[in-house]
Amino acid sequence: MSREFSLYLDAVRFLAALMVVFYHMNMRWLSTDILPLSDHGHAAVMVFFVLSGYVISYIHARRENTPAEYWASRLSRFYSLAIPVVLVTPLLDLAGAALRPDIYEGWTTHGLAPVRIATSLAWLNEIWTISIMSFSNTPYWSLCYEMWYYIMFAVCVFTAGRTRILLLAGCALVVGPKILLLAPVWAMGVVLHRWQLLQRTSFATGLALFIGSLVAFGLFQHYRLTDLGSAWMRNLVGEALHHQLTFSRFALTDYLLGLIVAANFVGARAIAPVLGRVLLPLERPIRWLAGYTFSLYLMHQPLLLFFGALIDGDPRGPLYFIEVLGAILVTVWLVGSVTEGRRHLLRAWLLARLQSLQGVRWLAAKGVR
């Protein structure tokens, strides 16, 4: 991956996270005015899915080519932040709801807290037709999808033959239809990285794909095709199952959106030297901001509600919104510096444990006592 294309993906990653934040902050108790660029929340998650598939495939091909290296990185990435967020969110919700119960109405629940914590940390919130809220942290659903995509990708690259088939079938039986419905969107990123023909895209074709994908994305959002996909799914499976599909009920048009995002990445990769002229002068701030993307995505919703209750300003002016957003960003920076900023320590510890376990299994397979 070229430096310029990597920088472009980092910029896209941060902007997509920001779109999700604005989507959730578009609440009338926070601002009486409708926020600009606040209707791209679900589309931004599909951008994350394609981007995640591409990056995971790239990293595996370059350096994480053993199960121990792969899982040390994946588990440290997720658990370094997920554990504190899952444990602290219900406490923030209780404190915020005590101050402003009205803004928490319909946004959180405290029933069966041990079950919510356990399923969140085991990535089981969205299996089959259940949907268990991780308290007020609505965006947590996508992490439960992604972890299972990581698992299925690992099965594909680290196993073969009958073992691969049986393990993939086992994963499908565990996760059910919702997670499987959006798996093709994530897999588009893998195909984008591994299909050699796409890597030989000419500059002219790349430019056409890049511009065309931006226009297509704008039209997709303008005509609200996500809502159309939901309506199609409702007609196809019925009202009851449509409701149970929750975040996967848009899948029929999410496939189209995934293709648009993939086309954009193909085009950006082909014209990366030109993009670099704009992005390289901004490399340091882009890399720095991208380093906090995961923290921003995973923490913003419970922080939004908590700081909204704590500050309790006037939604008729911009000050309340600015204060809440500023409090979110400062908290994300402080927490991210400790969690994401130091996850290499957890990765090193996990890698040592996993490599040791690998060695024991190898000796056992060889019959060594």
pLDDT at residue 7 in the model: 96
pLDDT at residue 359 in the model: 58
Rounded distance, CA 198 to CA 345, Å? 37
pLDDT at residue 357 in the model: 80
The pTM (predicted TM-score) of the whole model is 0.94
Is pLDDT at 367 greater than 60 in this prediction? no
Reported as a single tens digit per residue, the pLDDT across 216-272 is: 999 999 999 999 999 999 999 999 999 999 999 999 999 999 999 999 999 999 999
Q: How far is CA 60 from the centre of its chain?
A: 18
* Sequence-distant (≥ 6) Cβ neighbours of residue 336 within 8 angstroms: 81, 291, 292, 294, 295, 296
Rounded distance, CA 92 to CA 304, Å? 10
Q: Residue 146 is encoded by which pair of tokens? A: 């992604």
Counting Cβ atoms within 10 Å, is residue 367 exposed (0-12), middle (13-18) or buried (19+)?
exposed
pLDDT at residue 90 in the model: 96
pLDDT at residue 119 in the model: 97
Helix (H), strand (E) at residue 276: helix 272-279
Q: Residue 44 is encoded by which pair of tokens? A: 């931004």
Q: Where are the chain's structural domains?
A: 3-367
Cα distances from 333 to residues 75, 108, 299, 300, 336, in angstroms, run 21, 24, 11, 11, 5
pLDDT at residue 110 in the model: 83
- Pick from 298, 297, 309: which is nearest to 85 by CA? 298
